[in-house]
Structure 1
C-alpha cells in the first residue's frame, strides 16, 4: 500500500509541475508577443495634447537655477526640473501623473498636486479615469553628472485606481 500512495503522490506532483510549466510558458509567450505593443504604448498613454506639450517644454528646463534636482521620466534622459507630467508605469504608460503644480520644490524634496491619469486598457480598470493626488519627490542622487530625484510618493485625495491610498515609485 505504501508504494501506491507514494506513486499517487508522485503522479500528483508531476501533474502540478506540468501545469505550472505550461502556465509559465503560455504567460511568457503572451508577454513576448506583446513586446511591440509595450514599446509603442508610451505614444498611446492617456495624455492630452496639452500635457504632451508641457512635457516637451519641461525637458528644455533641464538644470534650473541653483542646481535644483530634476526628474528623469522612466529613469532615462536628462532630468527635468519641476515637471508637469511624470510617467508612473513605464512598461505600458498606463498611469501618468499630469497637471502637476509644485507647492514646494527644493534641493532635497519637492511636493505638489495634480491628477493621475489611468488608461483603462493598460491598467486593467473599467474606464479611462483621473484621480486627484499629492506628489512628493525625494532621494536626490547624482546620476550621469546631474542631480535627480530617485523616488516618488503618490498620495491619493479620495478614490484611487487600485484601492491604495499611497503608492511609491522608483524614478532612477
Structure 2
C-alpha cells in the first residue's frame, strides 16, 4: 500500500522564496501565487484520505526586522490574522523543526481543518500547510501529516 505522506525525491522551488522543498509524492503539484500547492485525492475510499498541502511565501509588514526564525510578536500576528479571517484556533505552539524555529497552528473554519508550520526566512513568512476538507473536515489532523510537514521543513534546501 502506498504511503500517502511519503515525500518525493526531487525538490521543487517555492516561488521566489529561495527555498526548494520535497513535496508529497502522492500529490499532484501545481504552482500557486507565492508558492506551491499539492492535492491528493484518494479514489478508493470516497475521498476519505484526500488532502491539500501548500507551501507559500508572503511579504508581511508586521515581521519587522526579523529575517529568520520565529518570535512571540510574529506568532501573535499570525493568530490574529487567522482569527480575523473567521478561523477557530484549536492548537498553537512554538516548535523546532530540525534547526528551524517555527510556530505551529491548528485551526478550523467552514471549509475544513488545517495544520500549519510558520517560519520566517529571508524576511518573508514561509508557511507549510496541510488541510483536509469535505467529508473529513471534522476529523483530527493525523500525526503522520504533521510529521510529513516537519520533514518538508527539515529536508528543504535553503539559499537556492
TM (norm. structure 2) is: 0.31
- Normalising by structure 1, we get a TM-score of 0.30
Instruction: Return the structure number with greater strand share.
Output: 2
- Larger Rg belongs to: 1
Greater length-normalized contact order (CA 8 Å, ≥ 6 residues apart): 2
Q: Which has the higher helix share?
A: 1
